[in-house]
Structure 1
Amino acid sequence: MGFETVTWTGEGGEPTWYETFEGEAKRGFCPTCGSRLAAIDSDIPEVGINVTALDDTSGPELVPIHASFRGYAVHWLPPVPGTEHNTAG
């Protein structure tokens, strides 16, 4: 999904950013509860935002295009199109 700006809301506002791989990647966490909210990778010009960090996920533009660690997907969520769904566990 493309957008020009992101407005961080909530008690803490802007995420607390930690460099997870020096010079390569940063991860953003809620400064209040510690939930992972976003990621910035040096070789990708976009900010990756966890869909669970969004207030409204009902828009048709929020269609998954990739699933990380799909082998560990929880069985109660529908599979991401184009990926395999693990029914174990």
Structure 2
Amino acid sequence: MPVQREPDDTTARTFLVVSARGREVHPAEARRRFDEVVTRHPGHRLAHEHMLQYLCRKWSGSHEQMFEFAREAFAKAPTR
């Protein structure tokens, strides 16, 4: 598995976030996958986009979860 060979590879880890939605993994596992990416690259845009999609009501979440995640990500984003 690529993430085992190169644990700091955020691209491989991001695709685990993508697959979380398609495979309908448990929300805790999806969040763990996302956290593994942002631990290495806090502003990883693609990982944030896919986690946001995972949290949409049409997939595995709700509007409340989606907006809570977006607000949390915004609050942690660096200011310019």
Structure with more of its chain in helix, by fraction = 2
TM-score, normalisation: structure 2: 0.28
Structure with more of its chain in strand, by fraction = 1
TM-score, normalisation: structure 1: 0.27
Q: Which has the higher contact order (CA 8 A, sep 6+)?
A: 2
